[in-house]
Structure 1
Amino acid sequence: MAGTMQQFWKDEMPIEILAYEDTPLGILCLRRRELLSRPGTSVTEVTLDHEFLMSSYLTESERMLSSQGLARVEAAAGRPLDVLVGGLGLGYTANEALQSPRVSSVEVVEFLPQVIGWFHDHLIPLATQLHSDKRLSIVQGDIYHRITSPPTKTFDLIVIDVDHSPQDVLGNQSHGFYTEQGLTKAKAHLVPGGVLGVWSYAEDTPLLAKMQAVFSDVEVEQVTVWNDLIDEQQTDWLFFGR
């Protein structure tokens, strides 16, 4: 049930509800607010069942998933690269891939049509920029089903930014992917020298061991930033297999 745009006040802070949607994963809310500590700075946030999911304020790890993934791709000099992104979100992972002149195409697979609707309605911060890039395509679908099914196309880089972590998933769709068998099926979607990247908010030793069993070269990137909104350091983890 999509709600109309409305505004309310919380702790003297204006919050604008851009969308309020009932989805198979729960109640999804897209909201925008101005930071009290930074007057004039607006932040777009997403919650799922009233729990925080993502924000446009700190996006370094989402962007590094693409940039560090591309840095690890082994490809013939001058050959254009194809990228597959699991999860649209607020668009930062896809947009970062498009910043590289090496990239000729970025395909995003997003499970929730409501999120794709936000993009088409220009409700997310990067919508205008993303709409203007002809290398980008967005389709509605299940990324986990896509990359554990026989491939119809191979990619230089596949990045998955969907779940909180491999052990804290949003729905049942990912069952089977975070296993040696699932990772082996996903590997078939990569060109020789291609890279699979997975985002996680937590260090996940079981995933690391499974990736090491499937890929010849596995690296973990720790992304630590200072969140001045809550005066705490936060760390996300990026897993790369080549």
Structure 2
Amino acid sequence: MSARFEEIDWQQTAMGDLSLRRRVEPSLGVEVFEVKLGDEYLMSSLFTVAEEELAALGLAASVGEEAASLDVLVGGLGLGYTAIAALRDPRVRALTVIDTMPAVIAWHEAGLLPVSTSLTTDARTSLVLDDFFALMRRPPGDDDARWDAILLDVDHSPRHQLDPSHADLYTVPGLQALARHLVDGGVFALWSDDPPDEEFLATMERVFVDPVAHIVDFANPITGGTSSNTVYVARSRVA
């Protein structure tokens, strides 16, 4: 195996072969961690700006003003950059991160990724093996948590899902089901690899208050230009 490339882990999953790789990017001379699902690149440590902005923009919209007052749910652990960015907000009292793949949680528990140790040693953090989409479909019981913010980064976009079973979340009934897991005025924020989708914004507006699509630009060291992602942010209605 070349010293410039290492496959750290490879596992079969219900959605395809999952692999964690570490390599040196020759054009930059930096170490890069990448996750692939089948033939698709899911994430790279070269591009984390929008994942971190998902947390920053989502929590900036939260009405919580007191220290240690926010309970936050992150859907999708990945390389951990959204979660670690959420922990930088001093208002966060508890951070629950849900991922459906045991391997991803195991990577962080073993300290394999750049932010793993900071994430797993923070007493506010809980890593939970579960299906985020199934959880959102289930009506919360009287004793279930309701979140001040839900930050979601799993699918490529509302139109391009990793698994067809996720598609219902991006409909009016699916978003209404998700909103039941938020406190009144709680925030839902969503990462997307696609440009702002006016049709999806209109769908969000039927459920949430004042949805906004933020365009997040970031330098692309591979192309030498600028790339963009989208972060949708909206608040649940107050009863």
Q: State TM-score, norm by structure 2.
A: 0.92
Runs (4+) of structure 1 exceeding 3 A deviation are: 76-79
The answer as to 2:6 corresponding to 1:8 is no
Instruction: Rate the CA distance shift 1:145–1:201 in 2: closer, same or farther, 3 A.
Output: same
The answer as to 2:145 corresponding to 1:156 is no
Residues of 1 paired with 2:179 and 2:50: CA distance?
A: 23
Q: C-alpha offsets along residues 90-109 of structure 1, whole Å, 9 cap, x if unaligned?
A: 00001110011100000011
Residues of 2 paired with 1:143 and 1:168: CA distance?
A: 17
SS in 2 for 1:175: helix
Residues of 2 paired with 1:78 and 1:124: CA distance?
A: 29
Q: CA deviation at 1:175?
A: 2.9
Structure 1 residue aligned with 2:110: 121
Q: CA deviation at 1:173?
A: 3.3
Equivalent pair of 1:44/1:124 in contact (CA under 8 Å):
yes
Instruction: Choose which of 209, 221, 229 in structure 2 pairs with 1:228.
Output: 221
Q: CA deviation at 1:79?
A: 5.9
The answer as to 2:128 corresponding to 1:142 is no
Instruction: Choose which of 15, 26, 38 in structure 1 pairs with 2:28.
Output: 38
Equivalent pair of 2:10/2:17 in contact (CA under 8 Å):
yes
User: More displaced, 148-157 or 92-101?
Assistant: 148-157
Instruction: Choose which of 13, 25, 28 in structure 1 pairs with 2:15.
Output: 25
Structure 2 residue aligned with 1:207: 200
Equivalent pair of 2:67/2:90 in contact (CA under 8 Å):
no
Instruction: Rate the CA distance shift 1:77–1:122 in 2: closer, same or farther, 3 A.
Output: closer
How many pairs align?
Answer: 231
Residues of 2 paired with 1:216 and 1:104: CA distance?
A: 24
Structure 1 residue aligned with 2:180: 188
Equivalent pair of 2:68/2:93 in contact (CA under 8 Å):
no
**Cα RMSD between the aligned structures?**
1.4
Equivalent pair of 1:145/1:173 in contact (CA under 8 Å):
no
The answer as to 2:206 corresponding to 1:217 is no
Structure 1, unmatched stretches of 5+, are: 1-6
Structure 2 residue aligned with 1:93: 82
Residues of 2 paired with 1:52 and 1:8: CA distance?
A: 20
Residues of 2 paired with 1:47 and 1:101: CA distance?
A: 33
Residues of 1 paired with 2:161 and 2:90: CA distance?
A: 33
Q: CA deviation at 1:122?
A: 1.5
Structure 2, unmatched stretches of 5+, are: none
Q: Larger relative contact order (C-alpha < 8 A, sep ≥ 6)?
A: 2
Equivalent pair of 2:68/2:90 in contact (CA under 8 Å):
no
Equivalent pair of 2:192/2:229 in contact (CA under 8 Å):
yes
Equivalent pair of 1:94/1:108 in contact (CA under 8 Å):
yes
Q: CA deviation at 1:176?
A: 1.4
Residues of 2 paired with 1:102 and 1:47: CA distance?
A: 33
Opposite residue 125 of structure 1, the aligned amino acid is P
Q: CA deviation at 1:78?
A: 4.4
Structure 2 residue aligned with 1:4: none
Residues of 1 paired with 2:160 and 2:115: CA distance?
A: 27
Q: CA deviation at 1:155?
A: 0.6
Opposite residue 114 of structure 1, the aligned amino acid is A
Opposite residue 195 of structure 1, the aligned amino acid is V
